Amino acid sequence: MPLGFHRKPTGRPGEWFYCIKHGKVEEGPECPAKDRLGPYATPDEAAHALETADERNREWQNDPRWTDQPKDEGDE
């Protein structure tokens, strides 16, 4: 059996996560890290985790430092 499949969830009480598997906010180590976004400081921040991730993804897509497009010769 591969190692790591029976690891306990990590996190601490007082840390809030959004579980993408269950679609809900959870406190502390309820679900495996692969199924969570966070930690967040408050339940409200965790509840908006998908919106936060979407905003960050859009920012990164529009950030020239994160694109694979080559620079134009005039930009050097």
pLDDT digits (tens, 9 = 90+) for 24-35: 999 987 899 999
Segment 15-25 shows an average pLDDT of 96
pLDDT band at 12 (very low <50, low <70, confident <90, very high): confident
Q: Write down the residue that tokens 């430092």 correspond to.
A: 65
Q: How far apart are CA 19 and CA 31, in angstroms?
A: 7
DSSP structural state of residue 20: T
How far is it, in rounded angstroms, from Cα 18 to Cα 53? Answer: 11
Can you say whether the dihedral through the CA atoms of 45, 50, 53, 59 is positive or negative? Answer: negative
d(CA 41, CA 1): 36
